[in-house]
Amino acid sequence: MNVRVDPHSLVPPSQQLVAAVLDAIAAGELAPGDKLPSVRGLAGEALVNPNTVIKAYRDLEHLGATEGRNGSGVYVTAAGPDVAKALRLAETLATFQQAAAAAVRAGHDEQVLRAAITQARGARELGQGEAGKQRSKA
């Protein structure tokens, strides 16, 4: 899982981490029973304070996507993929609808917008192919 936090974003760093973990779970990069990176490990990778990671992990646990096990770490729950997909689908659809409305107001042609969706789908499929190759090497 490769996580980067945008320090210039209006979204708080802990919420950016929550979104990144939910994306990884929804995409199958993290499966039920998989252990998430340690607090220090993820903080170092994302270049944030460990307290930010602790808050994100707590939020993920409250959502039901993960569970903390005393002394062992944080793991994806059996319900994690369903929770992650539902949350990410709802959030991203709302964001997409706002962006699509703004694009239409700006005068973008429908064919240009369809091409953007097709391009995004192609990039996703390429990314899934790469993720599958990475998982098979592990």
Q: What is the pLDDT of residue 82?
A: 97
Same domain, 69 and 23: yes
Domain holding 49, by residue range, is 13-80
Q: What is the pLDDT of residue 122?
A: 84
- In tens digits, the chain (138 residues) has pLDDT values of 889 999 999 999 999 999 999 999 999 999 999 999 999 999 999 999 999 999 999 999 999 999 999 999 999 999 999 999 999 889 889 899 999 999 999 999 999 999 999 998 887 677 655 544 444 444
Domain boundary among 36, 64, 80: 80
Note whether residue 6 is domain-resident.
Answer: no
Note whether residue 104 is domain-resident.
Answer: yes
Note whether residue 7 is domain-resident.
Answer: no
Same domain, 66 and 94: no
CATH (domain of 48): 1.10.10.10
Note whether residue 8 is domain-resident.
Answer: no
Q: What is the pLDDT of residue 125?
A: 73
CA distances from 47 to 7, 79, 97, 107, 132 (A): 10, 29, 31, 39, 27
Domain boundary among 35, 64, 80: 80
Please tell me the total number of residues recorded for the chain in this structure: 138
Tokens 């096990």 belong to: 69
Q: What is the pLDDT of residue 126?
A: 72
Q: What is the pLDDT of residue 132?
A: 47
Q: What is the pLDDT of residue 36?
A: 98
Same domain, 18 and 72: yes
Residues in contact with 93: Cβ distance below 8 Å, sequence separation at least 6, in sequence order: none
Same domain, 20 and 69: yes
Same domain, 53 and 19: yes
**How many domains does the chain contain in total?**
2
3-state secondary structure the chain: CCCCCCCCCCCCHHHHHHHHHHHHHHCCCCCCCCECCCHHHHHHHHCCCHHHHHHHHHHHHHHCCEEEECCCEEEECCCHHHHHHHHHHHHHHHHHHHHHHHHHHHCCCHHHHHHHHHHHHHHHHHHHHHHHHHHHHC
Same domain, 111 and 132: yes
Q: Which of 33, 30, 3 is nearest to 15 (CA)?
A: 3
Same domain, 25 and 72: yes
